[in-house]
Amino acid sequence: MTLHLSDIEAAAARLKGKADATPLVPSPFMTEAAGVPFHLKLEMMQPIGAFKLRGAMNAVMNLPEGAQGVTCCSTGNHGRGVAFAAAARGIRAVICMSELVPQAKVDGIRALGAEVKIVGRSQDDALAESQRLVEAEGLVEISPFDDAHVIAGQGTIGLEIMRAAPELEAIYVPLSGGGLAAGVAVAAKALKPEVKIYGITMDRGAAMHESLRAGHPVDVEELPSLADSLGGGIGMNNRLSYPICREFLDGTVLVTEEEIYHAMQVLFYEDRLVAEGGSVVGLAATLTGKLPKPGGPVATIVTGRNLDMHLFHRIMAGEPVTLGDKTIRGQTYEP
């Protein structure tokens, strides 16, 4: 099974007025740094503060008549999208998450009326609970990334970007389970085959990057990160996001916690935007020169802004931040 432009067009029609049309804005500072026009797709402006509303809404709207409810595992934002979409459809949602998920994300999901289950220390533990609920309570599971409707929903971002800026040479996509990168790559390359798509993630637990290198899905240890949204594996039985990423991505790049810290400061002090760690990796990879030098305009997707504001405040002040076993010592930002 694969994914076609027509699936993404269908998702775009379904999502119209519900989860679409975020701004694509130029970043003067990043344009200066990159040496080419640099655009930001502001997906953190979605009603749930992250792009994941697109895939979740598309999947929930596609459920058969009479569906009792949905469940999923999540690092936070997918759960929020599923909770929002389920509430809109008037059905039950049970969101399973590990202890690594920040409290700010858990609270956001509860506020939407979903049931929350905190289980174990990894996405795998959360996934097992979600799959148990399918059996035990007759709920439908919606994978955060390995689901055709979810990938098609995320792919609508690729359509919007390429229609707004057909001159783009490359799109830098934050990468975790690969649903976003897969959808964006299929959509963007259908409209412009030569556009390059790079997946970017943190070096602490880069499951898709390691899997692409190994030639098959591999497990990685899940570690606390400023990019908590990018944590978790890709599933050892991955059916869709892995093969699509393998076929359509032009490369993957890893960034460090310190680089993410700095990129969050850049986005705030230079572009006046608040975003979570997982959504600034495209800026981080550009600022550190880890991406191939572009010959023309590029864009990155600022994927979400659901973060703890105390943590955000510490980073903007240049204070050290401790996450589990790791202390990240950033610098005070000098605009």
Residue 94 or 227 with smaller CB distance to ligand PLP = 227
- Give the integer Cα–Cα distance in Å for 249 and 233: 18
CA neighbours closer than 13 Å in the CB half-sphere of residue 282: 29
Q: Give Cα separations from 222 to 137, 188, 259, 307 (angstroms).
A: 29, 30, 19, 19
Nearer to ligand PLP among residue 308 and residue 318 (C-beta): 308
Minimum distance of ligand PLP from residue 301's CB (angstroms): 8
Separation CA 80–CA 109 (nearest Å): 5
Q: How far is the CB of 85 from ligand PLP (least distance, A)?
A: 15
Q: Residues 146, 204, 263, CA angle at the centre, nearest 5°?
A: 95
Give the nearer residue to ligand PLP in terms of CB position, either 130 or 279.
279
The distance of closest approach from Cβ of residue 136 to ligand PLP in the complex, given in angstroms and rounded to an integer, is 26
- For ligand PLP, the closer of residues 23 and 295 by Cβ is 23
Bridging pattern class, strands 38-42 and 69-73 = unpaired
- C-alpha pair distances (Å), 316 with each of 159, 268, 322: 33, 8, 15
Smallest separation, CB 68 to ligand PLP (Å) = 26
Give the residues lining the site for ligand PLP (CB under 6 A): 50, 52, 77, 144-145, 174-181, 229-230, 276, 278-279, 303-304
Q: Which residues pair with 266 in a beta bridge?
A: none
Q: How far is the CB of 55 from ligand PLP (least distance, A)?
A: 8
Closest-approach residue to ligand PLP (CB): 304
Nearer to ligand PLP, 156 or 176 (CB): 176
Q: Is 181 exposed, middle or buried (0-12, 13-18, 19+ CB in 10 A)?
A: buried
**Identity of the residue, 176 or 265, whose beta carbon is nearer to ligand PLP in the bound complex:** 176
Cβ proximity of 170 and 294 under 8 Å: yes
Minimum separation from the CB atom of position 139 to ligand PLP (A): 21
Adjacent-strand bridge partners of 71: 94, 141
Residue with tokens 């999502």: 15
CB of 83 to ligand PLP, least distance (A): 14
SS3 311: helix
Nearer to ligand PLP, 318 or 323 (CB): 323
